[in-house]
């Protein structure tokens, strides 16, 4: 029979897996408490970084329907549960890992899909959601401007052609 405190820890971790958009597993061996505090701040306000027990977290992940992370639960493990923009938190992890080589990104999960450490680094290289939406809006506005210019150009081209035709007919009529 499982102890009540362990059952409660598994239930809490399972809820965090279910409620987060992404989860990134890291190895934190060799980091000081001060460095972990800095890491938590660098992840942004939409992420929670927790040092976890491998066995309990593996059970919680399986209860939450995530069974692709089982191989990553080895050694000292901490999980970043991300509820907001995963790009911001991935950038925070990547940048912190550059400054502190003791932090190793093992892998993670994003919307139920397993991610390798390299895929998390690629995610960190993306621009934020707001920047991508702004670029999309700019591209759409550009296409609308091109369309408006095209519709405006057709009548003016017609008028110039009609005027040229009238001038040519007047010239031919005056030459006869």
Note down pLDDT in tens along the chain; length 176 residues: 468 888 888 888 888 888 888 889 888 888 888 888 888 888 878 888 888 888 888 888 888 888 888 788 888 888 989 888 888 888 888 888 888 888 888 888 888 788 888 888 888 777 767 777 887 888 787 777 777 777 777 788 888 888 888 888 888 876 55
pLDDT of res. 54: 85
Classify residue 69 by burial, with Cβ atoms within 10 Å: 0-12, 13-18, 19+: buried
- pLDDT for res 174: 60
pLDDT for 1 equals 40
CB 27 within 8 A of CB 106: yes
This prediction's pTM: 0.66
pLDDT at position 17 is 86
* Sheet bearing 47-52, strands edge to edge: 47-52, 77-82, 22-27, 104-110, 113-116
Return the structure tokens found at 95: 């940048």
HSE toward the beta carbon, residue 110, CA cutoff 13 A: 16
């Amino acid at each position: 029979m499982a102890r009540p405190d362990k059952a409660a820890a598994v239930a809490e971790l399972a809820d965090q897996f279910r409620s987060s958009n992404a989860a990134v597993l890291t190895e934190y061996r060799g980091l000081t408490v001060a460095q972990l505090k800095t890491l938590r701040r660098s992840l942004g306000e939409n992420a929670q970084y927790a040092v976890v027990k491998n066995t309990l977290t593996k059970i919680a992940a399986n209860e939450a329907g995530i069974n692709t992370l089982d191989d990553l639960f080895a050694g000292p493990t901490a999980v970043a549960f991300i509820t907001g923009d995963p790009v911001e938190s991935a950038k925070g992890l990547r940048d912190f890992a550059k400054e502190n080589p003791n932090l190793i990104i093992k892998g993670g999960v994003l919307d139920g899909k397993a991610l390798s450490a390299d895929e998390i680094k690629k995610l960190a290289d993306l621009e934020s959601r707001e920047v991508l939406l702004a670029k999309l809006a700019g591209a759409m506005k550009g296409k609308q401007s091109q369309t408006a210019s095209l519709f405006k150009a057709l009548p003016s081209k017609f008028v110039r052609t009609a005027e040229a035709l009238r001038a040519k007919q007047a010239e031919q009529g005056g030459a006869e």
